[in-house]
Structure 1
């Protein structure tokens, strides 16, 4: 049984992980690969709204996507976007990235090779990964303005979509831990963590929501 306090703490982390950026047209949209096809759906919707003239879907496979996306996350995202009416000429695929840093670095290289000038990027991720994706991109690609985006969902609806409350809580905690430790490892820029967010993280960790913590 998960306590009301833990639910409240998880909502604090959920809100913090989202950057709440005002969306605006950018040079390119970059959809970060994962198990969540909602990233591709959101990228397609934003393309249709004129938020970017080009989409890059980036991602290889991982232990969690090897079975459901055997051709690679970026490839499956592209197929989804084409099903939703995005023209193939507006989609590039980066098929090798296995972490967020590689997502950004290899997408940057792909765009440079294609001769695409990028002044701003619409970075599309899972809702609870917005801030870490942003912090990573600011480290790897500092000269480009980053606008963060994800599927707009209420926290309870996201939990229902995953179907595993404890897993969602674990993912929220793991994402926060990486924001705390990755700057020192050179993976991300530092992000200010408000006291209430830090306290919520500590309580959830003490309650055992730790399966997604990084070892380093």
Structure 2
């Protein structure tokens, strides 16, 4: 992969990060995916005392359906238990299949448990921070809640592993950026400004063929 392509992809990666400074919260909510490092980040934050509750949300999504036998939330919760988080502090929402459902069904679970949340720490993959923020701002059905977003503390060049290649990471990042652009009009997310240099990087990478996760427009 050329240095030029890597530089363009780095620009997209940086845009997807919202760079929030974390503060103590009422609940850490970890959104499901194929990346167990997200579960580890959530458990680390709980163990550091950032919140009394650790909620895992996610059934089987497009990247895990057919790959895993148990839901994303259940698999993530197992990671947290192995890291020392007590069972009674873990909440599991295992029916949702997308980020919007993560939000709605987690709200229902918290209501059932009578857990009031004024501030959330949301944990997601690094290249999904901004879309998670935008979705949560739009979809959260309860009273206004402060949202802080974080992800595994990994840089772009180190992120690919045996589960996801660099090429796949770039394609997924472009798909998420496209959704940030078009989903506000559909009522799925809040509007997020996209700087001109990020739009330019997107167009150049699409022209190079990183289109595997784009939606038809």
Contact 2:61 2:98 in 1 (8 A): no
Alpha-carbon contact 2:124-2:151 (below 8 Å) kept: yes
Q: Counterpart in 1 of 2:23?
A: 24
Does the Cα contact within 8 Å between 1:162 and 1:168 map onto a contact in 2? no
Match of 1:11 in 2: 10
Q: Secondary structure at the match of 2:160?
A: helix
How far off is 1:6 after superposition? 1.4
Give the equivalent residue in structure 1 for 2:180. 179
The equivalent of 2:118 in structure 1 is 119
Paired residues of 2:54 and 2:91 also in contact (CA < 8 A): yes
Corresponding residue for 2:144?
143
RMSD of equivalent CA atoms: 1.3
CA displacement at 1:62 relative to structure 2: 2.7
Q: How does 1:196-215 map to 2 (within 5 A)?
A: 196-215=197-216
Q: How does 1:83-102 map to 2 (within 5 A)?
A: 83-102=82-101
C-alpha distance in 2 between matches for 1:6 and 1:184: 30
Separation in 1, partners of 2:61, 2:195: 32
Number of the residue aligned with 2:73: 74
Aligned 1:153-168 pairs, distance under 5 A: 153-160=154-161, 162-168=163-169
Tell me how far apart the structure 2 counterparts of residues 31 and 215 of structure 1 sit (CA, whole Å): 29
d(CA) in 2 for partners of 1:64 and 1:182? 20
**Corresponding residue number in structure 2 for 1:47:** 46
Could you tell me how far apart the structure 2 residues matched to 1:69 and 1:161 are?
15
- Is the contact made by 2:46 and 2:53 (CA closer than 8 Å) also made in structure 1? yes
Q: 2:26 touches 2:117 (CA, 8 Å); kept in 1? A: yes
Contact residue 17 and residue 127 of structure 1 kept, 8 A? yes
Query: Aligned with 2:159: secondary structure?
Result: helix
Where does residue 130 of structure 1 map in the other structure?
Answer: 129
Task: Extract unaligned runs of 5+ from structure 2.
Answer: none
